[in-house]
Structure 1
Amino acid sequence: MQVSKELYFTDGNNEVKYLDTTASFNLAITQDGSAFDLTNATAIDVKVANDTGYVFDKSIDMATIKQPLAGLITMPVDTEVMNALVPDDYTIEVWVTLSSLVTPGSQEGLTDDGSTTNTTTSSTATTTYNAIFPSDDPQGFTITENVMSDSGDVIPVMSLDTFQQEFDQLKTDLTNKVATLQGPKGDKGDKGDTGTVDNTGLISAPAFQSLQTATTELQQNALMINPANDFNKASLLFEVAGRWPVGGAVAQSMQCDIKTGIIYAAEQTDDAGSQRIVKYNPDTKAIIQERALNLDAVVWFEGNSLYHDAVTGDVMFVLPYDLLGNWFIYNFDTDTKGTPFRMVGQTIYCIDDTGKYFVTINSKDMPGVNGYITGFNVFDLTSVISGVPKLVNYIPVKDGIVRGNNKIQGFQMVGDSIYIGRGTYNQRFRTTVIDNTGAVTADYVWDQNDIKKIIGFPDDGQVFTCESEGMSYNIVNGKAVPVIVDIGRRGSGVYYAMINLNDTNGVKIRYTSGVSVAGMTRMDVSGINRGLAFNLGSTAQDPSILDCLKNVHEYGSYNFTVAQGNTGLAPEMGSVSGIAIVREMDGYNLNKMMVIAVDYNNCTWTNYFDKGTWMQWSKQLNYVPLWIGSSKMNQPVTLNKPASGYKRYAAIYQTSNGNGMFAVGDGKTIIINCFNNGNGAAAATTFYEAQLIFPTITTARLSVNGANSLAVPNGASNGTPTMSTSPGDITIKEIWGMM
């Protein structure tokens, strides 16, 4: 007989804040509703998993089991747990290792069916048994974010008035300084001594320092790029043979070894075992060495993770082993792979410019590997190299997500900013910049023609196509700068390019401040757009706007723009812009949300989310009153607003019997046909007929207005019906223009 094994949180507490290492989870395990006897337990492990799979396990100190007959277990949420987890939802199982199936507290003992297994553990044939709780769905717990997950910055701002004051002060300082530098006057007719300039004194002047700081900030807040005629002095371009699109491997990421200047490219096809790392000479552009990694899984090396071994100096990489959360350390110089280890995050990653941190993308509850970002997991690099990753920071992306034609190709952390490289083949390049709080600080967009000009290719008619392959970084004049990684094709040639940004000697590229309106963002209390933008189109790869909205995790108002045909819209809706307002949250999850959207046809639509279910889109009655009054309109009346630009027109009218009715016309003619029984003295039916027309866009009248009555004398069973006609029995009350 199959037994039932159950697992409970005894106090109902299954939630703890991130990095709170004083908490614990109190668990109880039972079998068929009775406490499970832990007398013969030799080991207890709590296995933890999330949506991506197994994460880690926590061994329980057997000395803490004070009531073995009660089946009670306390799992401390200590530093070991917090180093392995990020804010997320998790499921757990309890695995109990037993030395015997028969326990002193139970005459029946533990059956050997269900989730119990036995294992021979030594040459003396000692048998142990594993009991796994629960036997059905695992229990869950949540690590919630703390306030440190959303840190803020105070950013100094220089106003125009302040700038003018600083400039005026600079002029005064310069004037005073020059006055002290003039040489003594000579005798008449003789040339005086030449004055000297104290450059050090000028540079140290307070106003000069403030002005220089403002200029530096301006340069840092705009991406600068080298002009085409100076491209090779600070950027890299070279042609590669046998690469895409002729069936060969293509670069998924590129980076410069800062110590040697050597370029390393991770190249592959979409097939398992195709991954390889290629070492290029930056001067000759020739291949120096090539290593094939031959991994069994289809996994892409979309990141920059080169470092040097602290002892040997060998070139090393941190690389994903598969798409299931397994990673390994690779020694390029010796061509050896380390033992795989677990680490949270998608296979888009980087080592920051300081060499202290290893960063992965988090995309909780979002489909796809490189489609979304909900946050960044920041690990101590030393702990990653040792195979025991320690999470030191988590940067939530303010509920923003990135998707659509600007998919994520890679990112790079430089200083306090993260540069996200986005774009698909032969589409726009886009670099979105966020700060260490997860807020968007800038968004740069340019197309393939811009890239062509930047690289310096002539406009000679040859077809040029390109694709973003993410971001990297380089050192320019002693400063780390972000680098765009590009792969392009011109004619029959295939080219790799690394384009340095924030070069103060360069020129500004196309720049858009803030976030594009073609995406979903959230306004904070200061009115600033927060979160990464994303485009929602109508292709099969574009997610439903309703799926995106239900995955927000914070109170607020969210703006969005969606293309016509998106699977989350009603079929008759045009492209829409709208706002979603969170009404209620259940911890980290959305409970209730109200959505209002206006489509391209100027029609208003509403929807509502209630505890896991979306209601249907509802179209509101969109109309503009063109005229309000009371007239039989024998003569044209002047409208209050022109009858122009509307898809339909409507009229509210009243019959001679006092009945109010409504008629709609698709063009500029409204046909009115109705009947009613309103004659109390006779069994009668009156048929009304009228036609409302618009002689001009500013006037309206009734071209036809009459009624035909068919009546039988009251009480006459075989009376002869009589027909009567009367004019002007329709009175117009309102005229509308409708969207």
Structure 2
Amino acid sequence: MAKTLEFAYETPQEVKVGDDETTFTLVCKNEGLPVDLTTAKLITVKIGSRDGYLREQPISIDSLSKLPTGQFKFNFDKDTLDNFPTGSYFLEVWVADDQGTSIYPSGNPLNFIVTANIENSSGATITTIAYDDFVKELNKAASTIVKGDKGDKGDKGDKGDKGDKGDTGATGIQGPKGDKGDKGDTGTTGPQGPQGATGPTGPKADKGDKGDTGTVDNAGLISAPAFHSLQTQVNNSAVGTNLITNSNFSSGLDHWKVNPGANSDCKAVVTTDSDGDTCIHITGTGDACGLYFGPVSFNQNQVTTASVLAKGIGTIWWIGLQSRPFSNFGTISTESYSKIGSIMQADSSSDTFCVYFNPVNNVVDIYIKFAKLELGSHATDWCPNSAEILTQSDYAKIKAAIVALGGSLS
């Protein structure tokens, strides 16, 4: 069996930028057994990313004296984390002794996550967006909508009838007759009569045709920072929700399939344990013995945590989404159930959930129950998928249907 590198049970698996106090406790194993590191001459932790090697830090041999066999503690120099952007990183441990150099793990490096703190190293505040800003951003995006052409103007209504003419003023007094004199001045014009009433309004013209419907700049809308902030809130709201169904095996192996393993002899049997819980008894002799479930539907490209309760003989091969870099946690005991699992970054092509084990001395003999896949980087208590929970609304509908048929339900 290959050499492995694991996080000790309940040790942190992520660290914030600038935090030089968080300590990872790591375990080196060979053939499933802890390795005595006190005989080493030099232990070096090498750090890398998807782009390749980044840097390394030595581990003091003297610091191992009070720790269980195979374990050592590791925390980052502050200047290391100040220069790391947030995201996923990988660890390898190189152990040099009189026999040569051993590299843990033999397979994929161990994954850990660097998260942002509330301020970055320059003291600048990390940007957030309030509801009012969100409305403002959407109004701005809506302003890009193209307005339709204005309809034609309606015809002018007919002119009203002309009002009646006012009365003529009184005639001036005639002078006494005498010699014909010069022509008298023209008398003043009498007062103007009142204005006639306004004629009725002409009929209303027909309404012009409606302009063409405008179009939405969809690319501009979905690229707005406010839209991305809202999308993040929706994604994070699902943290703690179990993304797989029949995760407690109450319906046997419904939705689950058996992976035959490297020796094609893996078997999975539904049974009941001493706690009264339904569980799956997995046996085999080769690597990758276990079960898989698919497809799993959720918003991809997010950090996920997979977990299951297990006891028996065997070691973790893969718990989580298939073919993704992962970091395992937990140790399998032969005496009692313990929570084991892994943290990994999902992608759009990963929709199969796997629970695979490798043998110890050619034997896999493990019981599992209460599987869970959830968003985020922390394993929470098991719960069923939301589609399997009977709500008060569901109960009310069932009750109404029973009453309608003449029955009753308290």
Give the TM-score range, shorter chain. Answer: 0.3 to 0.5
Higher relative contact order (CA 8 A, sep 6+): 2
Higher strand residue share: 1
For the pair shown, the structure with the greater C-alpha radius of gyration is 2
TM-score, with length taken from structure 1: 0.20
